[in-house]
Amino acid sequence: MKKTLGFLAALLLCAAAASAGQRVTFVPPLVANPYWDVVERGARLAAKEYNVELDYVGPTQLDINEMMKYLEAAIAQRVDGIATMALNEAALAPIINQAVGAGIPVILVDTDAPKSRRTAYAGTDNVTAGKVLGENLARIKNGKAKIGMMTGALDQPSLNQRMEGFRQAIASYPDMVEVALEGDNSDLQICIQKGEAMLRAYPEIDALAGFEGFGVPGLSRVVKEAGKVGQITVVGFDDLADTFAFIRDGTAIGTTVQRQFMMGYLGVELAVKAANGEKLNSIYDTGVLFIDKSNIDTFDPEAK
């Protein structure tokens, strides 16, 4: 009897502690990943500013089932808000709807699921980001290029959307031609291996576009090692340290960055606002930037 009472008391204490501050669960598709680490820093800043408890939890390899487990756990714990990324709209929509139905606002970042009942979306869609890269490459090459493309895993929606936008952009330039497409599974070593082979198999290539984070570092190494700096234009996405180093030394021309720090920040901020009954817009555009030598020194990835 004493034990039971003690247990009940402990339970009450827990409940009291939980109700004291608000809790937000953030489920990224990947933890321990350079891109999502910046998202996490944004989320943590917002959590600090709004004084909410943040659980930032997710799988270390892309796995939709793992993501769903984290989301289900958050719903079961009745957190005050959820922020996540719609890795796969069809698979995640039911669970998003379940959360919203239970009164928990769901903020999507990076990748939207417009057909779900999600509360709001913060990000730049990847199609737009792809268009920005395509337009910039056309500008740099004066509308004339034979392009070798390097994506990551063939089934990754965000990369396919980036390529879709890129192709839409270059379609309006008759002399911008996609010569080859390869995939590196987001592995720097394979990116270099395939990049080397690509330049030999398609010697007409005069521009290389990387669609996942290792594209610029990998393809820049290929161009540098082949002694073709200046002859082949390297562009891509994201902001790894060596991506910036290769832009600074002139091997790569530029990279497209989606301001993921802002996505993380908004993910938490909007969840809190929605939990407190504020009315939100449906979409918050975080913008997309093309970074080259001209603006690399003023670029601050953690600017709000």
Partner 1 sequence: MSATHPDGSGNHGRKLPLFYRLIQNSSASVLVLLVVLIVIGRFMNSNFLDWGNLTSIFRSTSFVAIIALGMTFVFIALELDLSVGSVVALSGIVVGMLLKEGVPIPVAFVAGVLSGLASGIVTGFVIVHFNIPSMIGSLGMQFILRGVVYVVTKGIPLYPLPEGFEELGLGNVLGIPTPWLIYMALAAVFWYLLKHTTYGRAIYAIGGNKDTAWLCGLNVKTLRMSTYWITGALSGLVGVLLASRLSSAQPNAGQTWEMLVIASIIVGGVSMFGGVGTIVGTVIGSLLIGMLTNFLVMIRLSVYWQNIAIGVIILGAVILDQYRKNLALRMR
- Of positions 190, 229, 280, 289, contacts partner 1 by CB under 8 A: 190
Nearer to partner 1 (CB atom), residue 225 or residue 278: 225
**Are 227 and 100 contacting, i.e. CB atoms less than 8 angstroms apart?**
no
- Of positions 60, 77, 142, 281, contacts partner 1 by CB under 8 A: 60
- Of positions 57, 73, 91, 181, contacts partner 1 by CB under 8 A: 181
| 33 forms part of the interface with partner 1 (CB under 8 A) | yes
Strand 254-258, strand 288-292: pairing = antiparallel
**Are 113 and 89 contacting, i.e. CB atoms less than 8 angstroms apart?**
yes
| 193 forms part of the interface with partner 1 (CB under 8 A) | yes
- Of positions 242, 292, 296, 301, contacts partner 1 by CB under 8 A: 242
- Of positions 45, 57, 73, 188, contacts partner 1 by CB under 8 A: 188
- Of positions 6, 197, 278, 282, contacts partner 1 by CB under 8 A: 197
- Of positions 13, 14, 102, 154, contacts partner 1 by CB under 8 A: 154
Nearer to partner 1 (CB atom), residue 38 or residue 92: 38
CA distance 68 to 152: 23
Closest alpha carbon to 248 in 205, 209, 217, 210: 217
CA distance 225 to 178: 23
Q: How far is the CB of 69 from partner 1 (least distance, A)?
A: 17
| 156 forms part of the interface with partner 1 (CB under 8 A) | no
DSSP secondary structure string for all residues of 232-255: BEEEEES--HHHHHHHHTTSS-EE
CA distance 296 to 250: 12
CA distance 70 to 244: 34
Total site size for partner 1, rule CB under 8 A = 35
Please, which of residues 72-131 interact with partner 1 by CB under 8 A? none
Piece in contact with partner 1 (CB under 8 A), picked from 103-111, 113-121, 177-185, 292-300: 177-185
Is 46 buried (19+), middle (13-18) or exposed (0-12) by CB count in 10 A?
A: buried
Q: What angle do CA 140, 236, 228 make, to 5 degrees?
A: 65
List residues near partner 1 by CB under 8 A.
30-34, 36-37, 60, 151, 154, 180-183, 186-190, 192-194, 196-198, 200-202, 217, 221, 225, 240-242, 245
